[in-house]
Copies of this chain bind each other. A is one copy, B any other.
């Protein structure tokens, strides 16, 4: 049995975030001490670790609700879990692609060595999208 502060330290999830997850229904309301403070078990720790890890991989709160539900039913097929991971992967890949285009553009405009705004590629490019090399 540990306090919310302990749980926070052990999982790396901040205290208000833990309470937020409780509100969102990701974790069950835990037992309370006589003075009404939350007391967590090892199960609570496991569950929160799962959540934290899922968040780190970019799953939404809603996705995580689904994943947690699945994880409680080991006999179920795992198609749904795979689908979620696959969608997540697609999303991540799309974002990488987009950021790479931005990186390209930012590198290009940062390369300008003018010394005043009038000749500065940064400002000039922002003012005129036509000067860009890639779409975005």
Q: Are A126 and B53 in contact (CB under 8 A)?
A: yes
User: Is A99 an interface residue when CB atoms closer than 8 A count as contact?
Assistant: yes
As for how many copies of this chain the complex holds, the number is 2
Q: Are A89 and B71 in contact (CB under 8 A)?
A: no
Query: Across chains A and B, which 5 residue pairs bring their CB atoms closest together, nearest first?
Result: A74-B118, A78-B120, A89-B106, A81-B122, A85-B110
Q: Which residues of B contact A110 (CB under 8 A)?
A: 82, 85-86, 89
Q: Are A103 and B96 in contact (CB under 8 A)?
A: yes
* Contact count band on A: 35 or more
Q: Are B103 and A89 in contact (CB under 8 A)?
A: yes
User: Is A29 an interface residue when CB atoms closer than 8 A count as contact?
Assistant: no
Closest to A127 in B: B50
A67/B102 contact (C-beta < 8 A), A76-B116, A116-B74 known: no
User: Is A8 an interface residue when CB atoms closer than 8 A count as contact?
Assistant: no
